Structure 1
Amino acid sequence: MQTEDYPKLLGDIGGTNVRLALKLSPDSEISHILNLTLRDHAGAVEAIEHYLAQVGASAGPKRPRTGCLGAAGPVLGDHLQLFNAPWGFSIEGLRQALGLTRLRVLNDFTVLALALPHLPSTELVQIGGEPPAPGMTMGVIGAGTGLGVSGLVPNLHGQWSPIGGEGGHVTLPASDDHEERLIAVLRARFGHVSAERVLSGSGLVVLYEAHAQMAGVDAAVLTPADVTARGLSAQCPLCAAALNSFCLFMGTVASNLAVSLGAQGGLYIGGGIVPRLGDFFVRSGFRARFDAKGRYTGYLSRIPVFVIHTPYPALIGAAQA
C-alpha cells in the first residue's frame, strides 16, 4: 500500500467480540487496539464510529482512509451476514458510511491465515511434529463462538494465497464406538452434526449435556465457562469428559484439514478456547488423534501443530491485506 492509504482501519468481527485497531503508517506498529462487545452496538457502522471516537480518530489525521475487516461469516458478494450473530451489512454501504476510499472485508479466518507467517515464534506453543517445511501450505483452525477454518497456500510464484471457506460446518466424524454413540445422541437432538456443533463455546455445553444423557443423569444448567472451569479443576467428571471429547474431536477435524491441504508448513490453532485450556490440551489425546491416520500416520506425525497465543492475531493478518 502507498502512504496515502493510511491510516488504515483493522478489524476482527467475531460472533461475540469486535476487535478494532489502527495502523497509522506503512511502517508503524498496530495501535489503538480496543475490544468491543458486539451486542452493545446496533451494527458495524455504530461500533466502528464508537471505536473511532474512543481513540480520538473520529476526525483529523488519525481518521482512517482505508480498511480491512475480518468477519465471522461467508463473504458472498456485497452483503455479509454474520453466522453466529445478528449483524449484517453491505460492504460498499459500510465503506461509504465510514468515508473510506477502499474497504476489504474477508472471512475472519481468511484474515487469520494471512497472519501466520508473521506471528512471533515466542507466542506459539508447538504440540508435536517436526519443524515446519519452508514455503509449504499452512492450515489454521480455531474454536470460539463458532469454528473457523482456513489455509495459506503458496502459488507458483512463491506468493501466499489465503483460502476463504466454511470448513467449520463439515459433518463431524466419529473415530471410535464411544464417539459413534455420542454423535448418535447429538444427531437425535440436532439432525445434522457439524464440527462446529461441538468445537465451539456452545459446543462445550452440548458435549457436557450429551455425556450427562449417556450417563443417565440430569445435566445442570452450565455456561461454556462453567464447563471449562469444572473440567479443568476435575470438579465435575462430566465436564472433564466434555473437555476430553472436545480435544479428541479437535484432533480429528484438524488432522482432516491438515491432510486435505497438505499442510506440511504447519497446522495452527487459534480461537479463544484452546489457548485457555493450556496444559490440559497439550496433555490430552489431541496429538495422538491428530496422527492417527492409518497408512498416513507417518505423514501426519511430521506436521507441527502450533497453538496461537498472540493476543490479536487476526489484526496482524488484516494489516497484510
Structure 2
Amino acid sequence: MPAYALIGDIGGTNARLAVCNLETGKISNIQRFLTRDYLTFEEVITHFLNESPVRLQYACLAIASPINDEWITMTNNSWAFSPAALKKQFAFEQLEIINDFTAVSMSIPLLSEECVIQFGGGERERHQPIAVYGAGTGLGVSCLIDRNGWMVIPGEGGHVDFAATTHEEEVICSIMRSRLGHLSAEKLLSGQGLVNIYEAVVLADKRQPERLSPAEVTTRALNYSCHDCYRTLTLFCTAMGHFGGNLALTYGASGGVYIAGGIVPKIKEFFLKSDFRVAFEDKGRFGKWLKQVPVYLIIHESPGLTGAVAWLQQQLTSKQQPLVLA
C-alpha cells in the first residue's frame, strides 16, 4: 500500500496544496487557495483534507517565512501557527516545515531543460554553489550546495539593504527611503516593490502617482500605455540584475543563478530584453568572472511543490539525494 503525503507551497498571496504518492513521487490534486479568503492556515488544510480520497500520513509544507520549531508567523500575510499543534490536529506521522525557497532550491536538480530558460553566461560548474532568488509577494533567497548530496542554506536575504548603483536609482531610492524608512531589496523586488518604484518614479517628476496595483503597473508597462510604468519595469529588471550579481558573488555561485517567483515569468519577454544581464555583470573587477556565470529562469509551474516532495523523500529514506521528479 503506497504512502501519501500532503504537500504545500504557502506564500503571502497563494497557498497551493497537493497530494503526493511517495512511492512514485507523483503529485496530484493540486489546489490553489487565496490566503486572504481564510482566517487561518488550519482552515485551508481542513478544507483540503476533507476532499482528499486518500489518507495523508505525512506532510511537507514550504512556508514563505522564517522557520521556527515552536511558532511560525508568516511574513506577508496574517497566518501564524504551531507546527506541533498542526501535526497533532491532523494526525500526521511526520510533518516537515521548510522555507519556501528551500523547497524551490531542492527542485533545481530535478528540473528538465524544458523547465528553465538560460540567458547569458557559460556552462554551469558542477558541484559548485547555486544561488536561488525570486520576486513574488516577497523576495525569497537561498543557496543550494552539493556536499555528498544536496543541502540548502536558507536565509532572509530579501531583507538586506538595497544599494543604488546608478544616479537614477539613487534618486528613486532616496524618495523610497524618505517614505518607507529602511529600504530592503524586497521593497523594490516584489509585487509591492513594483508599486513602490512606480510611485517614486512619478514623485521624482514632481507629479502625483495614481493608485495602481502591481498587476496594473506591469500590464501598462507591457502594452506601452504608460511611460511611468515602463520606466518602473525597466528599473525593476535592472535592480534584479544588481541583486542577482551580488548573490552570485556572495555565494561564489559558479553553479549558476536561478530565478523563481511569480513576477518574472509573467514578464518573461520584457525581462529577457532588459538590461538585467548588464546589471548582473556590472561588478567592477569581478565583471569578467560574472560574465561566465549562467542565469536560469525557472518556468516550471510549481517548483515549490516538486522541491517539497524531494525534501520529504530525502527525510523519509535517509538518503542524501532526491529520488524522483514529480
State the TM-score, normalizing by the size of structure 2: 0.93
1:286-301 matches, cutoff 5 A: 286-301=276-291
Secondary structure at 2:154 match in 1: coil
Unaligned stretches of 5+ residues in structure 1? none
Q: For 1:127 and 1:78, how far apart are their aligned partners in 2?
A: 41
Preserved CA contact (<8 Å) 2:25 2:309 = no
**In structure 2, what is the Cα distance between the partners aligned to 1:47 and 1:215?**
45
Structure-1 residue corresponding to 2:194: 204
1:126 to 118, 131, 136: 118
Conserved 8 A contact 1:120-1:310: no
| Aligned residue among 278, 282, 288 for 2:268 | 278
Gaps of 5+ in 2: 312-326
1:211-244 Cα offsets, whole Å, 9 max, x none, are 0000111211111000000011111000001001
Between the two proteins, the alignment pairs up a number of residues equal to 311
Runs of 4 or more, structure 1, over 3 Å off, are: none
- Counterpart of 2:258 in structure 1 is 268
Work out whether residues 73 and 80 of structure 2, in 8 Å CA contact, stay in contact via their aligned partners in 1.
yes
Structure 1 contact 71–107 (Cα < 8 Å) conserved: yes
User: Residue in 2 aligned with 1:87?
Assistant: 79
Q: Secondary structure, in 3 states, of the residue corresponding to 1:76?
A: coil
State the AA in 2 paired with 1:187. R
Aligned to 2:107: 115
Confirm or deny that 1:315 pairs with 2:305. yes
CA–CA separation in structure 2 for the residues paired with 1:28 and 1:275: 25
Is residue 2:40 matched to residue 1:48?
no
Residues 172-212 of structure 1 show CA distances to partners (whole Å, capped at 9, x for unaligned) of 01111111111110110011100000100011111000000
- C-alpha separation in 2, matches of 1:136 and 1:68: 27
Residue identity (%)? 40
Structure 1 position 68 matched with structure 2 position 65: no
The match for 1:189 among 168, 179, 182 is 179
Provide the C-alpha distance between the structure 2 equivalents of 1:28 and 1:86, rounded to a whole number of angstroms: 32
Q: Identify the residue that residue 136 of structure 2 maps to in structure 1.
A: 144
Q: Note if 1:12 corresponds to 2:12.
A: no
Shift of 1:11: 0.4
1:237-287 per-position Cα deviation (integer Å, ceiling 9, x unaligned):
000010011001110111111111111111010100000001100000100
Kindly indicate whether the alpha-carbon contact (under 8 Å) linking 1:45 and 1:98 is maintained by their aligned counterparts in 2. no
Give CA deviations for 1:70-90 in whole Å, capped at 9, x if unaligned: 101101232111001000000
